[in-house]
Structures are given as structure tokens and as C-alpha cells.
Amino acid sequence: MSPYFTLFRRAGTAALFAFLLAPLVAVIIVSVNAGATPKFPPEGFSLRWYGAALANPAFTGSALTSLVLAALATAIGTPLGVAAAFGIARGKMPSGLRGLLEATFLSPLIVPGIVIGVALLVTLSTAGLRDAWLRLTLGHVLLVVPYVIRTSLAALQSFDPSLEEAAHTLGASRAKILTRVTLPVLKPAIFAGAAFGFIISFDDAAVSIFLIDSSTSTLPLAIMSYMQYNFDPSIAAISSMLIAITLAGALFIERVFGLKKFLGN
């Protein structure tokens, strides 16, 4: 392709990339700093802060909570989302209703996380439900569902109906068509949506901030509250570990489905 914007690119590309990567690189460099403060340039190489982060029960306990919570929310949200996507794509209904349903199911994406958290806190408190795990699970399922719906719906809309017709002419029952043809074809999309929902849930702070209690916290919130009183590189160490985990997850999704597809519109 001929370079339309050579000049533009030469001047700006390096600066833009530096802007995008700077904080990530800074975190990783500081995480291996031997000193007790996040100094730059670092005062020698050490992995001691990784040890410190892993030995901090506030981090390990909340990391476990976050993992279990994300897994739970994904396990509940995925079937809900897939079923809804089927209903929207396959149900006979006027197109206006279809649009409304789709918008409703994607609405958690435009409602600010902090509003979701506050609204849940207020209603559940009114109903006398004050269990942190219940609140967190409900809130995080809400985070997962739109991503599953988005990828499943896209896959269903590009699904070639003659595949099912072919299976039907070969004698497959409705149930067999679903389990042997339709779901396997949709599997990568469903899986990608679920994986993305998992990451979103794991990384969430805005929804959870009102739903945790004194004994149950998620990892991002535990780090945030640690940051209020400490600035030592153990935060950089745990952040670096998170970068590694999310990067691995993202590369995995990219392999299965292609990241761009659901980060796009």
C-alpha cells in the first residue's frame, strides 16, 4: 500500500506508541526495582517485591475472591447470554422489538459501573439482602452478559442457515442439530464472549466498590485501598503479574476469535 501519510506517520507514530506503552513499561521496570520506593532509574534488580506482593494476605485473599467471582459470573452469565442471543436472532418478532431487546441486553454497557453498583446496593439493602457474595455475583453477571450476547449474536447473524437445513435433510433431530451443528459452529464466539466477560469481571472496580464488605474484597479494590496508604513497588509487582495474566488471556482470545471483533463497535 502506498504510504499516504508518510510525513504524518514519521512525526507522530513514535510519540503515540510511547504514550501508549509508557505506563506499562514504567510499571514493569519499577516492579523489579530493588529499592523501597518506585524510583527511576531503578536502584538495581530484585524480585523481592514479587515475593512481598504474594506474601500479602490482602492481595492473595482478594485475588482468590476475584477469580471465584469472575468464574461464577461467567458460568451464570454465559448461558443467559447465549439463550438471549438465540431468542433475539431466531425469534419471530417485529424488527422494532428485536432492536429494543438488543438495546436492552446491551444496556449494561452504557450504564456507568458506579451506577450499577449503587442501584444494586440500594435495592438489595431495601430488600434486606446484605450478603456481599450475592451482591457481587449479581453485579458481575450483569457485566458478563452483554459481552456474551454481543459475540454470540454476531456469530448467529452470520450463521449460514443451510448448515442446519443440511443436517435436517440428513435426518438429524432438532436437538441433534443444536448439539452437533449449531453450537459447535458458535463455540468460538461464545467462548470468546465468555473469556472477555471473565476479564471484565476480574478487572472491575467501579461496580464492586459498593458491593464489597469489610471481609470480602476483590483484587482491584484491595490494590486501590493499599495504594491509598502505601506506594511501595509491591503494587508494581502485582500489577506486572496482572499485566502478564491479562496479556496471556488476550492472546488466547485473539487465537480463538480475534480480539478486534468485539472491541470494535
Partner 1 sequence: MALTDTAPPPQAQPAPRKPLSPAWLTLPGLCFLVFVLLLPVGWLMALSLKPSMPGAFTMEGDWTIANYLRFFSQPFYYSTLIKTLWVSALTTGITAVLGYALALIIWTASPAKRGWVVLIVLSPLLVSIVARTYGWMIMLGDRGILNQALLGLGLIEEPIQIMYTAGAVIIGLVHVFVPFMALCVLTSLEKIDPKVPEAAMTFGASRWAVLRRILLPLTVPGLASGLTIVFSLSISSYVTPALMGGPRSGMLTTFIYQQFAVTLDWRFGAVLVTLLLALTLLVLTSILALAARMTAKWSK
C-beta of residue 145 within 8 angstroms of C-beta of residue 137: no
All three cell numbers of 63, joined, read 485475588
What residues from 198 to 217 belong to the interface with partner 1 (CB under 8 A)? Answer: 203, 205-206, 209-210
Which residue's CB is nearer to partner 1, number 9 or number 180?
A: 9
Instruction: Using CB under 8 A, count the residues that bind partner 1.
Output: 89
Let me know: does 149 contact 105? Beta carbons within 8 Å.
yes
Q: Closest Cα partner for 47 from 28, 33, 27?
A: 33
Q: Which one among 104, 157, 179, 230 touches partner 1, defined by CB under 8 A?
A: 104
Residue 156 CA to residue 87 CA, distance in Å, equals: 10
Binding-site member from 32, 53, 145, 194 for partner 1 (CB under 8 A): 145
| 142 makes contact with partner 1 (CB under 8 A) | yes
Rule CB under 8 A: say whether 170 interacts with partner 1. no
Q: Report yes or no: 250 and 259 within 8 Å, Cβ to Cβ.
A: yes
Q: d(Cα 233, Cα 28) in Å, to the nearest integer?
A: 10
* Position among 190, 194, 212, 236 found at the interface with partner 1 (CB under 8 A): 236
Residue 101 touches partner 1, criterion: CB under 8 A? yes
For the CB of residue 161, give the shortest distance to partner 1 in the complex, in Å. Answer: 13
List 69, 136, 212, 235, residue binding partner 1 (CB under 8 A): 235
**Binding to partner 1 by residue 69, rule CB under 8 A?**
no
Q: Is 88 in the site for partner 1 (CB under 8 A)?
A: yes
Dihedral sign, Cα of residue 203, residue 206, residue 212, residue 217: positive
Return the closest-CA partner of residue 155 out of 261, 265, 263, 80: 261
How far out from the chain centre does Cα 112 lie? 15
**Interaction between residue 220 and partner 1 (CB under 8 A):** yes
Q: Is 252 in the site for partner 1 (CB under 8 A)?
A: no
**Among 71, 165, 174, 213, which residue sits at the site for partner 1 (rule: CB under 8 A)?**
174
Residue closer to partner 1 by CB (options 21, 71) is 21
The single residue among 115, 129, 163, 166 that binds partner 1, judged by CB under 8 A, is 115
Would the CA dihedral through 188, 193, 199, 201 be positive or negative? Answer: negative
